Amino acid sequence: MKNKRIGAQTVKLSEPVVIAGVSSVVGPKEGEGPLGNLFDTVAKEALYGEDSWEKAESKFVTEALQLAVEKAGKTMEDIDYILCGDLLNQCTGTTFGIKDFKVPYFGLFGACSTMGESMSLGAMLLDGGFAENVLVGASSHFCAAEKQFRFPLALGTQRPPSATWTVTGDGSAVLSKKGKGPVITEITTGKIIDMGVTDTMNMGAAMAPAAVNVLTAHFKDTGRQPNYYDVIATGDLGYIGKQLVIELMAKEGYEMGENFTDCGIEIFDKQNQDTHSGGSGCACSAVTFASYFYKKLSEGEIGRMLFIPTGALMSPTTSQQGSTIPGIAHGVVIESRKE
Amino acid sequence: MEETTQAKQIYDKMVKEASPDSPIVLNCIKAFVSGGFICTIGQLLRNYIETFSLGEDTTSLIVCVILILASAILTGLGLYGKLGKYCGAGTIVPITGFANSVVSPAIEFKKEGFVFGMAAKMFLIAGPVIVYGTLTSIIVGLIYYFVG
């Protein structure tokens, strides 16, 4: 067997995996944001015609996955596996959204890093020869997340400046062995990093060290520097987390330049949308990639991209018990392949 | 990233420097004005109800009921939560805030049923206030009994 491992945390696929089609279905607030006209579908209201936030999230999942398959020019019968996840307890946002598809399914939990995790594992399944087409994705819902992790929506609380805003929606992608489109070439899988942050209203700070772990491991494994990429995009670190990554990377001897951004910064307009430190949630990186970055990759505006969704591996119970917030990140190298 | 105690302490410092503080002075002013405004409404109501000569206790009760009702309606309309964003403690501390803390989970958890959803979760936020409020009054009562 050809050895695909090129370092401690990085693998190189023997054949690039094609991202044949993507979809982004989002809520109204996301639709009003700077990326508003790039999303495939913008729901008119957060309930999306359902009677609970949880059911609404599942509908975002259903709609987005169907659309991704359609846009890839395939049908559900062509899909060998679905790999996706969300933030709700027991990943029910996903399972209730996909249960009628009748496609073999692996449920994933990587908190907000799930898009990176699903793309990584999907690409590995394809490269391992176990599938022809894999459907990957991740979802989150602001209202459902607030209800589960924080307070009832109608409670009059103040959010601190470091808080982020959970993105409502689902971003999905069809990964294929053949076809046209940007390709996944390498994967750097993160380790769980816990630097002792306990403030659940400052998730960017909790996750930044995990992003740094992926970045340093990736550069060490590949011998590259940050400027090798046209874009390096973390998932949902927000303004504070991004700043911390820049500082931590400088300590490690890497200079993060203008090419470094964060999906949580791209998706909302901080000034006009009152989103404080930026966007967050599984859908943050998923829908930003599936709209904004995928378009740029397809058009060749971005040649090489390092996509690093980030996640905070906590639950309300662990936080209430005073435990720290462990972070995780998943790095995926995506190339345009458009001459 | 090394997860040593020293590295964590250094990182904690970095986080504090990178994270902007809440505007405490501005928040206090907003809370003072908005909280004072709610209390002034209460006082105006009281002055008006006193003209009916219903007695001290009944007058207080009616004022409370009106304020609680107003807050519950505003919460149901989704307005009280929005006020809370600007007013902070000003809308949390008065009795209207207590009503908001009971009504908001009741609305949020209604989908899980009227028994284990709405009713059980209704005191999710107000519960601690009731528990420790009762406890404090017992302690104060005991002190008063023996000392006063």
* Res A190: pLDDT: 98
φ/ψ (deg, to 5) at A17: -100, 130
Cross-chain residue pair B1–A195, CB shorter than 8 Å = yes
Cross-chain residue pair B3–A193, CB shorter than 8 Å = yes
φ/ψ (deg, to 5) at A18: -85, 135
A107 close to A95: Cβ distance less than 8 angstroms: yes
Q: Give this complex's ipTM.
A: 0.92
pTM score: 0.95
B121 close to B108: Cβ distance less than 8 angstroms: yes
Residue A178 burial class via C-beta count within 10 angstroms: exposed 0-12, middle 13-18, buried 19 and up: exposed
**pLDDT averages per 10-residue partition of chain B, 148 residues:** 91 96 94 96 96 94 97 95 93 94 96 96 94 97 94
Cross-chain residue pair A240–B76, CB shorter than 8 Å = no
Cross-chain residue pair B111–A205, CB shorter than 8 Å = no
Query: Considering only residues 4 to 63 of chain B, which have any Cβ-Cβ distance to chain A shorter than 8 Å?
Result: 7-8, 11-12, 14-15, 18-22, 27
Q: Name chain B contacts of A162, Cβ cutoff 8 Å.
A: 19-20
Residue B86's CB: how many other CB atoms inside 10 A? 14
* Res A2: pLDDT: 65
Query: Residues near B15 by Cβ (< 8 Å), separated by ≥ 6?
Result: A197, A202, A205, A240, A244
Nearest CB among B1, B18, B78 relative to A243 is that of: B18
Q: What is the enclosing helix (H) or strand (E) of B99?
A: helix B95-108
Q: Within 13 A of A136's CA, how many CA atoms are on the CB side?
A: 32
Q: What is the DSSP string of A275-302?
A: -TT-EESHHHHHHHIIIIIHHHHHTTS-
Query: Rounded distance, CA A308 to CA A330, Å?
Result: 5
**Across the A/B interface, how many CB contacts are shorter than 8 Å?**
100
Q: Name chain B contacts of A244, Cβ cutoff 8 Å.
A: 14-15, 18
Least Cα distance to A175 among A137, A203, A213, A204 occurs for: A137
Cross-chain residue pair A156–B100, CB shorter than 8 Å = yes
Q: How far is B33 from chain A (nearest CA, A)?
A: 16
- B4-36 residue pLDDT tens: 999 999 999 999 999 999 999 999 999 999 999
**pLDDT averages per 10-residue partition of chain A, 339 residues:** 88 97 98 97 97 98 98 98 97 97 98 98 98 98 96 92 97 96 98 97 97 98 98 98 98 97 97 95 98 97 98 96 97 90
Query: Rounded distance, CA A336 to CA B90, Å?
Result: 53
DSSP type of residue A112: B
Query: Rounded distance, CA B51 to CA B38, Å?
Result: 21
Nearest CB among A156, A160, A194 relative to B81 is that of: A156
Nearest CB among B12, B19, B81 relative to A155 is that of: B81
Query: Residues near A148 by Cβ (< 8 Å), separated by ≥ 6?
Result: A87, A88, A89, A316
φ/ψ (deg, to 5) at A190: -80, 160
Helix, strand, coil abundance in chain B, percent, nearest 5: 80, 0, 20
* Res B148: pLDDT: 79
* Res A1: pLDDT: 53
* Res B2: pLDDT: 82
